[in-house]
Amino acid sequence: DVKVTQSSRYLVKRTGEKVFLECVQDMDHENMFWYRQDPGLGLRLIYFSYDVKMKEKGDIPEGYSVSREKKERFSLILESASTNQTSMYLCASSGTSGRYTDTQYFGPGTRLTVL
């Protein structure tokens, strides 16, 4: 079974703090993704990575950065947390078949509250 784990289920931080969210997958997947999910706005892609040390901006990268130093680990960093970053953060990973990426599998999510 594919397993995607995230470092915390719930997190409370203060405005201005630096926040690290970690994601680990155990399926040797090449591709990893960070989304946020908000009521009424659905899933929105923040960043993704197709290989170690590679990163690509998604639709809403502002205020976030990422790091992928190892294939199994993809970190999301909030440089200076703000209240509008209160959200559910979801990590996903997928393999690759030829020119195509495969099914995306999601982690359990981290519900972040910024006070």
Partner 1 sequence: DAKTTQPTSMDCAEGRAANLPCNHSTISGNEYVYWYRQIHSQGPQYIIHGLKNNETNEMASLIITEDRKSSTLILPHATLRDTAVYYCIVRVALLMNRDDKIIFGKGTRLHILP
Chain residues that interact with partner 1, rule: CB under 8 A: 4, 31, 33, 35, 42-43, 45, 48, 50, 56, 58-59, 88, 90, 92, 94, 96, 98-109, 111
Token pair recorded at residue 80: 């200076």
Smaller CB distance to partner 1: residue 24 or 90?
90
Q: Judged by CB, which is closer to partner 1: 6, or 85? A: 6
Least distance (Å) between residue 104 CB and partner 1: 6
Instruction: CB nearer to partner 1: give 3 or 18.
Output: 3
Q: How far is the CB of 16 from partner 1 (least distance, A)?
A: 27
Q: Nearer Cβ to partner 1, position 33 or 64?
A: 33
Shortest spacing between CB 74 and partner 1, in angstroms: 15
User: At closest approach, how far in Å is the CB of 80 from partner 1?
Assistant: 25
Residue pair 64/20 in contact (Cβ under 8 Å)? The answer is no
C-alpha to C-alpha distance for 56 and 47, rounded to whole angstroms: 6
Which of 12, 54, 35, 41 has the alpha carbon at shortest distance from 93? 35
**Whether 24 contacts 90, CB under 8 Å:** no
Calculate the CA 24 to chain-centre distance: 10
> Helix, strand, or coil here: 32?
strand
